[in-house]
Amino acid sequence: MKTVIDYLDYQSQKNPGKYAFRDLSSSFTYQQLKNNVDKVASSLIKKDANKEPIAIFIDKSIYTVELMLAIASCDCFYVVLDENSPYERIKKILSSLNPRFLLTDTKNSEKISSLIKNDFPATQVLIREELEAEALDEKAVIERKQQINEDDLLYVLFTSDQLEHRKVS
């Protein structure tokens, strides 16, 4: 196993019914998590997402992890935007990365769409529940996962003190 995606695939085969994540209101078994991750990744691949930044604007939950893994599965990298951050901070982060896609959920879609519509009209807001409902192109996901290298960028973290400086892992 060379990546976190390889680990998820392995665990979904070895321990499909065991919990991968649980929070106060939701839980995922490894198989459920893999299925959702693959559906979201498939949807992003259909939109030609590849080796590019994708922003996440969602409450901290197991769904945040799902979106992180889905973005990694389509060989892109993510930045998580804190839904409680002031808009000026979000604007600086988005200006730095200029993502084509911003993933959110139904609960936060109206809030983020209204915030970014004037400053980032080219950024498409995609809703997690809608991406999960799209048809899975399993072949495309498998092919994309085979292209992932353990040295590929996974995420960008902006420090709170100096937004111009990025920590990359």
pTM exceeding 0.85:
yes
Q: Which domains does the chain have, with CATH numbers?
A: 4-168 (3.40.50.980)
77-81/101-104 β-pairing: unpaired
The confidence score (pLDDT) of residue 40 equals: 98
> Distance between alpha carbon 19 and the CA centroid of its chain, in Å?
20
120-129 residue pLDDT tens: 999 999 999 9
Indicate if the pLDDT at residue 54 is higher than 80: yes
